[in-house]
Structure 1
Amino acid sequence: MTTTSNDAPRPARDGANQARERRPAPAPKKALTGLMLGALGIVFGDIGTSPIYALRQGVTEAGSVDASIVMGILSMIVWAVVIVVMGKYVCYVMRADNEGEGGIVALTALARSGYEQQGRRVPHLLLMAGLFGAAMFYGDSMITPAVSVLSAVEGLSQVSAKFEPFIVPIAAAILVALFLFQSRGTAVVGKAFGPVMLLWFAYLAAVGVYRIVEHPDVLRALSPAYAWALVIAHAGLAFTILGAVILALTGAEALYADIGHFGRRAIRLAWLVVVFPAIIVGYFGQAATILHQPGSAKQPFFFAAPSWALIPTVLIALLATVIASQAVISGAFSMTSQAIELGFLPRLRVIETSTSQRGQVYVPAVNAALFAAVMFLVLVFRSSDRLTSAYGIAVGLTMLITTVQMVSVTRNIWRWSWLAVAALSVPLIAIDGLLVAANVHKIPQGGWFPVAIGIVLFVSMATWHRGLELAQMHSSRAQPLAEFLRHVLTSGERPARVPGTAVYPGSTQGATPSALASNVRHNRVLHETTVIFANRSESAPRVDEHTRIEVRDLGAGCYEVISRHGFVERPNLPRLLASLDGQLGQWRFDPKHTTFFLPRDEAMPGCSHGQMARWRERLFGGMSFHSASRAEYYGLRSEDVVELGVQVVL
């Protein structure tokens, strides 16, 4: 029998209407300005640094600097940004917040809750798609720091050819420093991110305007006719170029993922007022440079700058790419924390890095894995040109899965008709599908890396989630708690009642915790005050404080406490116990006289009785064995904890 601290997700209890009521009121004008500035530093780092390499890669894929082709590529990029980023994410996907939280994990929980609220079975494919999308996001988190920093450092070769041999070592040194810094938390430099990125976007716009004024004819590419003409004249080439166009969309997922930190309004305004105009003007400026100086196609971003501004350009690009890398790394930490609470990942050590801002966490295991992967990419691929081949497939698959999950949300949460759902979703799925298909041929060139990482993580997450489901099913069939206590307290071999308080966290509501059964069976003791915590993780990000805790008096000094928490919250047992003062008779929480009994699970071969393959049982057992301690997860001191070995039966 087993108990789990991160049970499978539960349906959001309050429904869509109450979820809307919980959303914060619009921020005052001064606060909104601050949120917009913060969003520039955290949300838009990835998409904001795409101009360094996106157009360059498109021209490289085309293999020509012919004016009609360059104008066609520029038009494709502009309208891809308008349709995918502006239309899909800013106007459509960002509406699907899970009580103020966004991202692929929160979207999966929201889509799942739509079925559960209606009492319908959640399609297995829906959940698996969400897990695969989360796995691909990790792949994106590995590639973004490598390609961004490398692309910026490569600007040094434009300053002097002598820097060429040092590009990879310099990029590696910067990335080492970046990952070493993670344990300090982003709050230390968070306030500086916004102003730096504001300067970056102002620079993009200024250089773009400078080049457009010299060659205003480039503005004709605002018409989608140029993109269409390229498709008609060179269909195969246009399809290949789509594989580079997706690079201009990297970071679009962050607009949705970070709405919990900055709010929908601040992100939308920052996008419309600052980011969108700046990057579009920047792309036009680069295209104008290529048309005027065909030799600049190898590095149009750096050639677009005046010669006297080349060194400042490299420096500000380097700062911007470090910030973009920091943002995506922090996003991986936040998503990991959410996935743990929803039962998609085993317990990992999660450290809160800010006492004033929620969601800022540091996950050492994820940081180490990302660092190893990023260094591998830098040392093996050695240039941003080669790395962009690995980039597009991860971004495209994440975008496609987001669109698929939105079908469930629009139908089950928003109650759209099937006609309305199809009218919007089919074109978006077709566009995402084309972007993914255009990158499939890059798998042998480097796209294999994020795909391989995604598959490994997907299999691991799916196995963990399935193992928890089976464990929860078995745990729910355990002896009912009331029946167990009645038998223990009335049998002829009643256990000794010892002074103090015993707490048994993590059990299934109404079922006997395995640690309690083991303690009574082996030690023949039952504490004077026995508290059984039934810990539940909801599909909502947060729960109402008034309904967070429910207490049941089982008699004879025994109590069952049903504790609920959202997937962005972490259960802190000492704090929860302190809040129970007055609800458990005359009992008051005294840490000195309280012992926490936790099960130490061990998954044995054959533990699923054929419901999972043997290799998945071993994988689940290994993940369980190497997961972080329950004591740390519950905020307990090790000296207050007693662990009891329990064999896991799935």
Structure 2
Amino acid sequence: MTTTSSDAVRPRIRARVRDGAQRGGEHASGDGPKQALLGLMLGALGVVFGDIGMSPIYALRQGVTEAGRVDVPVVMGILSMIVWAVVVVVMIKYVSYVMRADNEGEGGIVALTALVRSGYEQQGRHKPHWLLMAGLFGAAMFYGDSMITPAVSVLSAVEGLHQVSARFDPFIVPCAMAILVALFLFQRCGTAVVGKSFGPVMALWFVWLAGVGVYRIAQHPDVLRAVSPTWAWALVHAHPLLAFVVLGEVILALTGAEALYADIGHFGRRAIRLAWLFIVFPAIVIGYFGQAATMLYQPGAEKQPFFYAAPSWALIPTVIIALLATVIASQAVISGAFSMTSQAIELGFLPRLRVIETSKKHRGQVYVPAVNLLLFAAVMFLVLTFRSSDKLTSAYGIAVGLTMLITTVQMVSLSRNVWRWPWLAVAAVSVPLLAIDALLVAANVHKIPQGGWFPVAVGIVLFTLMATWHRGRALSAEHASKAPPLDAFVRHVLDDKHPARVPGTAVYPGSRLGATPSALESNVRHNRVLHRTVIVFVNRSESAPRVDEHTRIDVRDLGAGCYEVISRHGFTERPNLPRLLASLDGQLADWRFDSKHTTYFLLRDEMTPGCSHGQMSRAREWLFGEMAFHSASSAEYYGLVGEDVVELGVQVVL
């Protein structure tokens, strides 16, 4: 190692951390590529496609119910609208276009926002503030979707019990609640276990859905004419207002499209695309055609076309399979909510929460207990408040539509400013997609008084929390920049203060490169001691999901046993401080990592009233302080054991 003076440019010592983790979607076992891909596809069926795979239970039914008529032009027109909405929005927009924007294997609107931000940073430009706020609002609306999906999916399937016997009606809501309790308790097992358990059931669901559809299509093949978009256009031309209203129900066939993108970190883009193209898409389209045939040729079938489509002898098996599948339908958005929360924490959009890695083979598979509890409470509230899938679908569309619209807006910025597409190409792709998304949102505005207020209210609350935390963090960073330079502080302490040197290693996590941590400054001022080895640890979260292990750590030698260690990690990773320090063995002069003689000095900030000097309102100052107080401890975040940690409380005035 080379040591230089404080006023020279110091060489950096690179260290590698070996943790054996694999990127999300990569298979770490010794299985062959085909076996690995098939396993990922099966897992994706159980986690990713549950939401969109359950849409056939209620999407066409709600569209025809909203139209108030059951005749050939209306049913065929709505069917054509649904099929082409799936083709354009899911197949073309998400599977072919949006999923190209994976942030090194990670997806979702938070990862997309980070990708756009990193593109601006690479060009030396600041990302427009409104674009960042739009990304945060889209993420907030995704949480609203994550709350509604489990409730509406499970209720819609349990309501099939009514088709078996009306005597089951009093048990529909309690049964749905019991299933949801079991589902949320199961989340702690992890995505990998959930996917393996649910994948075969969802494979059976899609086979059953296609089989019932083929059974009805074979009886009435003329329904296949709805594959032509002319039926949709004819409905729009003949009844424009009715078609616009029905469009608010067509969006129900698209729920889960955002989850396809959000969950690519769990199973990989290729596995999700192949599963969609060869299994999910054909099955759901055939299922819609089968239901349309049933509605047109079986009186009364419009009430529950999915269950009426099954042969009478297969009704009970259909209800059972639907019950199992709808439980799984909720998994797509729940897993997406966990992933998005983990990403948002690392990017500084949410305070630290407890995040549990649930897989040693696949990075990005996480369980967030606080989010699981929040979703569970919200889902129970929705089930008890609305009590039927018909009423819940009114609350559904607005959250989905707003998230889709914001995703498209972010993709416009990405295509132009990161991918460097010419404006003509950007316009050719984005203008039609923006028009469709705007129409879907507009068609759902009238649902706000009927239940759409819930996801909007949830979105506004969560957006306020994320925007406040992001703003408070920015002001905290600005305050940290006023701390004395680390080089000058060390020089001043050693030359003028002559503190007592005590045995052992002291580690001070800091928030800003080259700045003196408040904990170090306070410890020297009040205790007048300095450990024999002092390591200032600066943790930097990058806009990429992962960083290269070879360049993860840099070290600056400050002299006299003092070092600054700069660690980089992606937004799907969490720093394990003892393991990072252990990787430096042999890299620093006369020092080896010894956990028994290492003390970690952490800072516990206390926000004071007026701490932002008018840059935030008093209400937001209080909110930021409460979020900071209730966030997970830094010790847990850094993977530290309690007896090795000393916490110092510091009042912060931003």
Check whether the contact 2:45–2:195 (CA below 8 A) recurs between aligned residues: no
Where do residues 581-620 of structure 1 align in structure 2 (5 Å cutoff)?
581-620=585-624
Alpha-carbon distance in 1 for matches of 2:97, 2:191 = 29
Where do residues 174-573 of structure 1 align in structure 2 (5 Å cutoff)?
174-491=179-496, 493-573=497-577
After alignment, is 432-441 or 347-356 more displaced?
Answer: 347-356
Q: Tell me the equivalent position of 1:99.
A: 104
After alignment, is 186-195 or 220-229 more displaced?
Answer: 186-195
Alpha-carbon distance in 2 for matches of 1:168, 1:33 = 37
Check whether the contact 2:24–2:364 (CA below 8 A) recurs between aligned residues: no
Q: Tell me the equivalent position of 1:575.
A: 579
Alpha-carbon distance in 1 for matches of 2:517, 2:317 = 63
Out of 625, 630, 633, the position equivalent to 2:629 is: 625
Alpha-carbon distance in 2 for matches of 1:496, 1:355 = 44
- Aligned residue identity for 1:114: G
- Cα deviation for residue 326 of structure 1 reads 2.2
Out of 123, 146, 155, the position equivalent to 2:160 is: 155
Q: Secondary structure at the match of 1:355?
A: coil
Alpha-carbon distance in 1 for matches of 2:301, 2:327 = 25
- Aligned residue identity for 2:367: Y
Check whether the contact 1:497–1:525 (CA below 8 A) recurs between aligned residues: yes
Q: Secondary structure at the match of 1:563?
A: strand
- Cα deviation for residue 509 of structure 1 reads 0.6
Alpha-carbon distance in 2 for matches of 1:649, 1:307 = 71
Deviations 1:105-131 (A, max 9, x none): 100000111111100121001100100
Check whether the contact 1:22–1:99 (CA below 8 A) recurs between aligned residues: no
Identity %: 82
Q: Secondary structure at the match of 1:172?
A: helix
- Cα deviation for residue 24 of structure 1 reads 7.2
After alignment, is 428-437 or 321-330 more displaced?
Answer: 321-330
Q: Tell me the equivalent position of 2:3.
A: none
Q: Tell me the equivalent position of 1:3.
A: none
Q: Tell me the equivalent position of 1:9.
A: none
- Cα deviation for residue 525 of structure 1 reads 1.1
- Cα deviation for residue 594 of structure 1 reads 0.5
Q: Secondary structure at the match of 1:318?
A: helix
Q: Secondary structure at the match of 2:511?
A: coil
Q: Secondary structure at the match of 2:444?
A: helix
Check whether the contact 2:578–2:640 (CA below 8 A) recurs between aligned residues: yes
Alpha-carbon distance in 1 for matches of 2:118, 2:611 = 30
Q: Secondary structure at the match of 2:451?
A: helix
Report the TM-score, using the length of structure 1 for normalisation. 0.95
Q: Does 1:48 align with 2:14?
A: no
Q: Alignment length, in residue pairs? A: 629
Q: Tell me the equivalent position of 1:76.
A: 81
Check whether the contact 2:142–2:400 (CA below 8 A) recurs between aligned residues: yes
- Cα deviation for residue 385 of structure 1 reads 0.4
- Cα deviation for residue 577 of structure 1 reads 0.6
Alpha-carbon distance in 2 for matches of 1:577, 1:334 = 27
Deviations 1:246-278 (A, max 9, x none): 000000112212222222222111111111110
Deviations 1:314-336 (A, max 9, x none): 11111111111123212211111
After alignment, is 564-573 or 39-48 more displaced?
Answer: 39-48
Alpha-carbon distance in 2 for matches of 1:89, 1:234 = 30
- Cα deviation for residue 472 of structure 1 reads 0.7
- Aligned residue identity for 1:636: L
Deviations 1:185-226 (A, max 9, x none): 333342122211111100011000000011111001001000
Structure 1, unaligned runs of 5 or more: 1-20
After alignment, is 279-288 or 191-200 more displaced?
Answer: 191-200
Where do residues 117-132 of structure 1 align in structure 2 (5 Å cutoff)?
117-132=122-137
CA RMSD of aligned residues (A): 1.5
Alpha-carbon distance in 2 for matches of 1:507, 1:604 = 20
- Cα deviation for residue 286 of structure 1 reads 0.3
Check whether the contact 2:213–2:290 (CA below 8 A) recurs between aligned residues: yes
After alignment, is 351-360 or 366-375 more displaced?
Answer: 351-360
- Aligned residue identity for 2:346: E
Alpha-carbon distance in 1 for matches of 2:116, 2:377 = 33
After alignment, is 343-352 or 188-197 more displaced?
Answer: 188-197
Q: Secondary structure at the match of 1:294?
A: coil
In the superposition, relative to structure 1, how do residues 37 and 574 fare at CA in structure 2: closer, same or farther (>3 Å)?
same
Q: Secondary structure at the match of 1:611?
A: coil
In the superposition, relative to structure 1, how do residues 398 and 100 fare at CA in structure 2: closer, same or farther (>3 Å)?
same
- Cα deviation for residue 23 of structure 1 reads 10
In the superposition, relative to structure 1, how do residues 267 and 636 fare at CA in structure 2: closer, same or farther (>3 Å)?
same
Report the TM-score, using the length of structure 2 for normalisation. 0.94
Q: Secondary structure at the match of 1:91?
A: helix
Check whether the contact 1:207–1:285 (CA below 8 A) recurs between aligned residues: yes
Q: Tell me the equivalent position of 1:65.
A: 70
Q: Secondary structure at the match of 1:635?
A: coil
Q: Tell me the equivalent position of 1:33.
A: 38
- Aligned residue identity for 1:270: A
Q: Does 1:169 align with 2:174?
A: yes
Q: Tell me the equivalent position of 1:643.
A: 647
Alpha-carbon distance in 2 for matches of 1:628, 1:22 = 25
- Cα deviation for residue 473 of structure 1 reads 1.4
Alpha-carbon distance in 2 for matches of 1:364, 1:86 = 33
- Cα deviation for residue 461 of structure 1 reads 0.0
- Cα deviation for residue 22 of structure 1 reads 12
Q: Secondary structure at the match of 1:92?
A: helix
- Aligned residue identity for 1:504: Y
Check whether the contact 2:27–2:36 (CA below 8 A) recurs between aligned residues: no
Q: Does 1:111 align with 2:134?
A: no
Q: Secondary structure at the match of 1:51?
A: helix
- Aligned residue identity for 1:359: G
Check whether the contact 1:551–1:583 (CA below 8 A) recurs between aligned residues: no
Q: Tell me the equivalent position of 1:10.
A: none
- Cα deviation for residue 494 of structure 1 reads 2.1
Check whether the contact 1:104–1:133 (CA below 8 A) recurs between aligned residues: yes
After alignment, is 260-269 or 531-540 more displaced?
Answer: 260-269
- Aligned residue identity for 1:487: H
Q: Secondary structure at the match of 1:526?
A: strand
Alpha-carbon distance in 1 for matches of 2:350, 2:24 = 27
- Cα deviation for residue 386 of structure 1 reads 0.3
- Aligned residue identity for 1:507: S
